[in-house]
Structure 1
Amino acid sequence: MPQSGPQYSQQKTVETFSPDWLLMAIVLCLFIFVSVVLPAAFSIREPSGGNYYVENACLIEFNLTGKNLLQYNLKLDVSITNPNKKCHVYYQQLQASASYEGEIIASALLPTFRLEHKKTVVIHPAFGGQSAIGLDDLSVNEFMKQRSDGFFRINVEINAKMIESLGLLTTDEFSASIWCGLTIPLLPSNSSASGNGGFTRTECEVKTLI
C-alpha cells in the first residue's frame, strides 16, 4: 500500500492595505496640493505685467521740414523687472512705437527673451529716419516752442505678448500695453551721442492687460 506523504494545501496570499496607511497617503497628497500646487496656481492666476522704466533717452535729431516731414534719431534704454518671487516670464513678442502730437512716427520690433523671477533686463528701442507727419499750425507752433525750450514731449508705447510659468504650470498668452510719456532733451549737435542731456528716469504705465 503506497505511503502517502504530508499534504500541503496551496493558498493565495491576498495583500491588504491598512486603512491607516490609506488615510496617511490621502493626507500627504492633500498637504502637497495645498502647500505647493494651489499656491503656484494662484501665483500665476493673474499675470503681473512687470515694472517698466525708461532709464535713458538720447534724442540726437528731431527736425521738422515744413509741416509734414519729421527727421528723428532717438535711442532708449528701457528696464523691465519681473517682481514675481516664483514665476518666470516669457516675452514672445515685443514692439515699440514712438509718437509725437498724437501721430506715430516710427515702430521697431525688439528681441524676445525669458525673464526669470526677481530679475531685470534692459532693452534698447531705437528709432531713426524720417516720417511724414500732419501738423496743424497750432502743433507747429508747439514744436517750435519745445525746440526753443530744448526738449520734446514724445510718447513711447511698448506692446508685449507673454506667458508666465512656474514649473509645469503656465498661463495663457496675454498682452500688455506699456505707455511711457517722455520729456526728452534735444542733444546739441556737438555733444556725445552716449549722453542723455539731463534726461530724468521715467516710470512707464501698464495701460492694458488682457
Structure 2
Amino acid sequence: MSQVLSKSPKHCAEKQSFTIDKSYKKLFFAFSSFFTIVLAFIFLIWLTLHPSKPRFSLTQADIYQFNLTRPSLLNSSIQLTLLSQNPNKRVGIYYDELQAYASYKGQQITVDTYIPPFYQGHEETNLLTAFLQGDALPVAPSFGYEVGRDQSAGRMVLSLKVFGKLRWKVGTWVSGRYRFNVNCVSVMVFGPNAAPISPIIGSSRGTQCSTDV
C-alpha cells in the first residue's frame, strides 16, 4: 500500500513567504552595501582634501550717513568692500544666499543687504562690495549719547557682518549647504584723520575678519 504525501496550502504559503523575505533581505543588503561604499568614498575624499574655510578681510568701509531723526530712529548708509579668498588648491566654493549688515554696540544699524551669489575657484580671490542702508531704524534711547561720545573721541567701532550658505565642490561632486558667518570689527575714524572726500564722514581700512562655517 503506497503512501501519498501532500503539502498543505498553509505550508506552501509559508515557504513562499520565506523565499520572498529572503530576496528582500538580499536586495536590502546590496543597496545598503552600495550606499555605505559611496559614503565611505565621499568621506575619504573629504578627509584627503580637508577643505579650509574661506578667508575674508575688510579692505575699506565708508560711512556716508549716520544721524538720528528722532531720539530713537536712525538713518545710516555705509559702503563696504570685502576681499574673499579661497585657500584650497583642489576645492571650489559656491556662495549662496549672501547677506550683509552693520551693527553698533550690539544693535543692528542697517537692514540685511543682499549680495549676489557666486562661485569661487581654487585659490581664487574675489572683491565684494555692498551698500548697507537703514532708514528710520529703531535704536535704544542711549544710542545718541554713545554715538556722540565716540564721534567726539574721533573713533567708532562697528561690526560688519556677512552671513549665508556655501557648498564645497570637489571635481564634479558638490556638497550640501553649510551655514557660514563672517565678522569684521571696523574702527571708523572721524575728524582730521578721516578720509578727505567730503561726503564721507568716517572710514576704515585694512581689517582682518573671522569666519565660522
**TM-score greater than 0.5 by the shorter chain:** yes
1:128 maps to which residue? 133
2:85 maps to which residue? 81
How many residues are paired up?
171
1:146 maps to which residue? 150
User: Is 1:52 aligned to 2:56, yes or no?
Assistant: yes
Q: Which amino acid aligns with 1:54?
A: L
Counterpart Cα distance in 1 of 2:62 and 2:191: 7
Counterpart Cα distance in 1 of 2:53 and 2:43: 21
Report 1:1-210 matches (<5 A).
40-44=45-49, 46-106=50-110, 107-137=112-142, 139-186=143-190, 191-192=196-197, 199-206=204-211, 208-209=212-213
Cα deviation digits, residues 47-102 of structure 1 (max 9, x gap): 43300001011112211234212121210000100000111101122011111221
Q: Which amino acid aligns with 1:147?
A: Q
Counterpart Cα distance in 2 of 1:115 and 1:49: 12
The normalised TM-score by structure 2 is: 0.69
Aligned CA-pair RMSD = 2.9
Q: Which amino acid aligns with 1:112?
A: P
The normalised TM-score by structure 1 is: 0.70
Counterpart Cα distance in 1 of 2:203 and 2:195: 15
Q: Which amino acid aligns with 1:130?
A: D
Q: 1:41 Cα shift?
A: 3.3
Q: 1:143 Cα shift?
A: 1.0
Q: Which amino acid aligns with 1:150?
A: G
Cα deviation digits, residues 9-60 of structure 1 (max 9, x gap): xxxxxxxxxxxxxxxxxxxxxxxxxxxx88743245x543300001011112
The residue matched to 1:200 in structure 2 has which SS? strand
Counterpart Cα distance in 2 of 1:83 and 1:112: 19
Unaligned runs of 5+ in 2: 1-41
Unaligned runs of 5+ in 1: 1-36
Percent of aligned pairs sharing the same letter = 23
Q: Which amino acid aligns with 1:90?
A: Y
1:4 maps to which residue? none
Q: Does structure 2 conserve the Cα–Cα contact (< 8 Å) formed by 1:150 and 1:186?
A: yes
Counterpart Cα distance in 2 of 1:81 and 1:194: 30
Q: Does structure 1 conserve the Cα–Cα contact (< 8 Å) formed by 2:100 and 2:132?
A: no
